[in-house]
Structure 1
C-alpha cells in the first residue's frame, strides 16, 4: 500500500472511490443506484411495489432458520448439502494445497462468525481466545473484518488495531492504525472508503422515525450502523412480525433511495448504491495491491445472507473461496462450511499453525 491518494473506479457500477489518509476529507458519495429485481423477493423486499405483508413475513422466516426436529428427510437433505459444501476443517489439507505459492488474505464477518449470535446485539462479545486467535492470524496474513455493524462498534468489540475494518456492509472502510508486516509503507496512515457519505442525514432521519414507529412492538430493536440501519426482531414474538413489517414499510415507502434486505432475524436498511461486501472485498484487495495478482488467495468466512455477495465475488474472480458458517443447509455460493464460531476459531488456529510450520521449514 502506498501513501499516495489512489482513485479506484468501477466502470460497471459507476462508483469512484478515493483512498486517503485520516487527515483528509472523505470523498463525495457515488451517484450510481441499483435496481431491485422482483424475482429476488427473499433478498430485497419491495417497499413501494404493493407487496403483501404476509410475503414480507414469509421472507423474514426464510432468512431466519431455527432449530428443526431431526427427521430422515432433513438428515438426508443435510448430508446432500454437506457433500456440496464440506467442512473446511475436514478439507483443510486440500484447501492448503490450493493456496500454496499464493498470498492468503483473510476476510471475516463478525456476528455469528467471530462471536455467537445473541439476543442483545450490544452484548455480542468475542471470547478472549477468539481475539488471541485473530491477533495471531493477522500476524500471518492480511486480515479484515467485514460486517454490517457500525465500524466503530465492531472495533470496540474486536480491539485489534492491526486489522482492516469494513463496517456498514462495506460502506465504511478503515485500514490498520498499527503497523504490521503488511502495511509498513503506510506508516499507520489508515485508508478510508465511505461511498455512501451523502446518505448520512437520510439514515439518521429514518433511524429516528423507525425508533418511534417500532416502540409499540415489544422486543423490536433499531440499531444505527452509521451508513445502514438494522431492525432486529430476534426478541419479537413471531405473531408480531406482521405488525413490525407494516411499521418498517410505512417509514421506508417515503425513501425510494433506500433498500431493505434481510439477515438472521434482522431487517437491513441501506442506500441503493452499487456497493456490498463483495465490492468491499475488491476494494481491500486493491488497497493491498493484490487486486490484479494471479497469486492471491482470498478466504472469506461469514454466516449471513449479506456475505453471499462476497462469496459470489470470489467465485467470479476464480480465486480463493468462501466458507459459510451454518448448522443448517442454505443456498450459498460458498465452497465450504463450518457450523459455529468455535469451528471458525479451530480453522483459523490451524491456518496459523500451518503458516508457522511452513516458515520453519524454509529456515
Structure 2
C-alpha cells in the first residue's frame, strides 16, 4: 500500500500468501432506497440520544481526562479554534476521509476493533447505565456480518456482553486480559485456525484473589467520598470519580495510590475520569489486538487491515500497536484536541455509527458489483 499522510503505511511487512478476500472496490455514493432509509433512521435515533507536587500533577491529569470540564469550554470560548483546526488537519474526520480509508483496504480483509464506553455508548454519570442503543446494536451486528469484529474494553467481559448482547463478536474485557471468541459465527470470517473460534485467554488469572482484595479495600477506603464508585472488572478494578466534586479528586487519587502501594504486583493507570488498578504484566489493548489477529490467522498476513476505534487513553496502546505493525487505521473518538497516535477522528458515538453503516453499505455494494462482474464473465462467449 502506498504511504499517505493519514493512513498508517505498511513498512517492513513481508507479503504473506494467505487466503484473504479478493480486491475490493472504491466507495460509491450511497443510493436512495430502503438501505438509505434505515441508515437515516439509525442516525436520527442516535443523535437524539446523544507527594503534594505529584498529587497536584495527578489532579491536573484528572482534570485533563474530563473533556467537558469548564476549562475546556472556556478555552474554546477564548478562541482556540485555530488549535482545533490544526488538530483536525492532523487527525481528519474518518467520515470526511472515508473514500481514502476504503481505498486503503483494497485487496485486504478489514478486521474491526471497537471500544465500548464513549465509542458505542455515550459517556454517562453511572457506569452501570452505559447502555447501547438498539440502533447502534443493529449497526454493530451489520458490521460483524461483513467483517471479523471485536469489542475491546476495560470493562469486565461479562458486563460488556450484557450491554452489547451480540454472540457473533469477539470480546476482550479488562483491557484484553479476558478474551473470548464468538458463541456463533455469522459469516465464517476466521481462516482455518483452531484458535479462531471459542478463544479464551486470561493471562492474569493468578492475580484474581489480589484484585478482589484491592476491590474490597477500595470500597472501604472511598466509602466517605461522595460520588466515588468502585467497579470490579474481574482482572482490574476501576475507581470512577466522574461524580466526585473536584475538591475531592485529590482524596480519591491519594486513596488509590496508598492502597496500591501495598501491592507491588499491581499498578495504577488513568482513563477518562477513572483510575484503574491492573496487574503489572505487559498486557494492554494493543497486545489484545495482536492476540486476536493471530487467533484469526492474520498475525503475519500483509492482506489484512485492522481498524481500531476508541476514545480513551487506554486505546492509545492499540493505536500504537497499529503503528508498530505499519499496518492498520486508528480512529480516536473525541470532540476535543488531545495527543493521540490515531490517524483519524470521529466526534461522538453517533458519528461512529454513521461510519460503521457506511462501511457496511460500501461492502455490500462491492459484493454486488463483484457478483455482477462474475455473471458477466460467465455469460461472455468463449472464443
Do the structures match in fold with TM over 0.5?
A: yes
What residue is the counterpart of 1:96 in the other structure?
Answer: 102
8 Å CA contact 2:190, 2:297 repeated in 1: no
1:229 corresponds to: 237
Given the alignment, which residue of 165, 169, 172 partners 1:159?
Answer: 165
Structure with higher strand content: 1
Partner of residue 295, structure 2: 287
Give the counterpart of 1:217 among 225, 248, 251: 225
Q: Tell me, in whole angstroms, the C-alpha distance in 1 between the residues paired with 2:102 and 2:127.
A: 34
SS of the aligned residue for 1:52 comes to helix
2:91 is the alignment partner of 1:85: yes
Match of 2:28 in 1: none
CA distance in 2, matches of 1:226, 1:330: 29
| TM-superposed deviation, 1:51 | 6.5
State the Cα distance separating 1:321 from its structure 2 match.
0.9
Question: Which residue, 281, 284, 292 being the options, matches 1:276?
Answer: 284
Contact 1:172–1:192 (CA under 8 A) maintained in structure 2 = yes
Cross-structure match for 1:311: 319
Cα pair 1:146 1:165 within 8 Å, conserved: yes
1:53 partnered with 2:55: yes
SS in 1 for 2:80: helix
- Counterpart CA distance in 1 for 2:103 and 2:227 is 47
Q: How far apart are the structure 2 equivalents of 1:189 and 1:99?
A: 24
Instruction: Give the TM-score normalised by structure 1.
Output: 0.84
Q: Work out the CA distance in 1 between the residues paired with 2:160 and 2:245.
A: 27
CA distance in 1 between partners of 2:195 and 2:288 (Å): 22
Shift of the 214–296 alpha-carbon distance from structure 1 to 2, 3 Å rule, reads: same
Q: In structure 2, what is the equivalent of residue 320 of structure 1? A: 328
What SS does the aligned partner of 2:207 have?
Answer: helix
Aligned-partner Cα distance in 1 for 2:302–2:190: 20
Shift of 1:179: 2.5
Return the offset for 1:74.
1.2
- Corresponding residue SS for 1:160: coil
State the 1:189 CA deviation: 5.0
Residue of structure 2 equivalent to 1:40: none
Cα distance in structure 2, aligned partners of 1:309 and 1:155: 22
Q: How far is the alpha carbon of 1:188 from its aligned partner? A: 9.4
Cα deviation 1:291-345 (Å, max 9, x = unaligned):
1000100000000000000000101111111000000000000000000000000
Structure number with greater Rg is: 2
CA distance in structure 1 between the aligned counterparts of 2:93 and 2:57, rounded to whole angstroms? 33
- Local SS of the residue matching 1:255: coil
The root-mean-square deviation of aligned C-alpha atoms, in Å, is 1.6
**Structure 1 segments (4+ residues) deviating >4 Å:** 183-189
Name the structure 2 match of 1:339: 347
Q: Deviations over 1:30-54 (max 9, x none)?
A: xxxxxxxxxxxxxxxxxxx896322
Answer yes or no: is 1:266 the counterpart of 2:274: yes
Cα-to-partner distance string for 1:14-70 (whole Å, 9 max, x where unaligned)? xxxxxxxxxxxxxxxxxxxxxxxxxxxxxxxxxxx8963222211211222224133
**Unpaired runs of at least 5, structure 2:** 1-50, 372-383
Q: In 2, are the aligned partners of 1:179 and 1:188 still within 8 Å (CA)?
A: no
Matched residues in 1 for 2:228 and 2:121: separation? 21
The alignment partner of 1:299 has SS state of: strand
The aligned residue for residue 189 of structure 2 is 182
- What does residue range 34-45 of structure 1 map to in structure 2 within 5 Å? none
Q: Which residue of 1 aligns with 2:337?
A: 329
Match of 1:6 in 2: none
Q: Which runs of 5+ in 1 are unaligned?
A: 1-48
Query: Mapping of 1:51-130 within 5 angstroms?
Result: 52-66=54-68, 67-69=72-74, 70-71=76-77, 73-130=79-136
Task: Return the alpha-carbon distance in structure 1 between the equivalents of residues 266 and 57 of structure 2.
Answer: 19
Richer in helix (by share): 2
Q: Structure 1: how far apart are the matches of 2:338 and 2:52?
A: 28
C-alpha contact 2:330 2:343 (8 A) present in aligned 1: yes
Q: Distance in 2 between matches of 1:218 and 1:209?
A: 17
What secondary structure, in the 3-state scheme, does the structure 1 residue paired with 2:73 have?
coil
In structure 1, the residue matched to 2:6 is none
Q: Is the 8 A contact 1:176 1:190 kept in 2?
A: yes
